[in-house]
Amino acid sequence: MSFQLLDPEKGIFLSEAGSTNTILKGKEFPPGSWILADFQSSGRGRKGKTWSILGEEPFIFSGKFSSDSNLSSPGLFSLYVGVAVAKTILSIYPSASKKDLRIKWPNDIYLNGKKVCGILIETEKEGEVWDWILGIGVNLFGTEILDYLSDAGFITDDENEKGRRSRFLETLLPLLNDAVLAISDGEKRIEFINEKLLWKGETIAWTESGEQKTATLLGVNEEGKLLARTSVGNMVEFIDSPEDFRSLG
Q: What is the DSSP string of 50-113?
A: B----SSEEEEEEEEEEESS--SSTHHHHHHHHHHHHHHHHHH-GGGGGS-EEEETTTEEEETT
Residue 65 to residue 226: CA distance in whole angstroms:
25
Residue 135 in contact with residue 20, Cβ under 8 Å? yes
What is the CATH number assigned to the segment(s) 199-247? 2.30.30.140
Pairing of strands 246-247, 3-4: unpaired
pLDDT digits (tens, 9 = 90+) for 101-153: 999 999 899 999 999 999 999 999 988 899 999 999 999 999 887 776 778 99
Percent of the chain exceeding pLDDT 90 equals 76
Spans of all domains in the chain: 3-195, 199-247
pLDDT tops 90 at residue 241: no
- Higher-confidence residue of 127 and 218: namely 218
Query: What pLDDT, in 10s, does the model give residues 93-111?
Result: 999 999 999 999 998 999 9
Residue range 3-195, CATH number: 3.30.930.10
User: What span, in angstroms and rounded, lies between the C-alpha atoms of 61 and 175?
Assistant: 14
pLDDT in tens, 1-58: 789 999 999 999 999 998 999 999 999 999 999 999 999 886 555 555 565 677 899 9
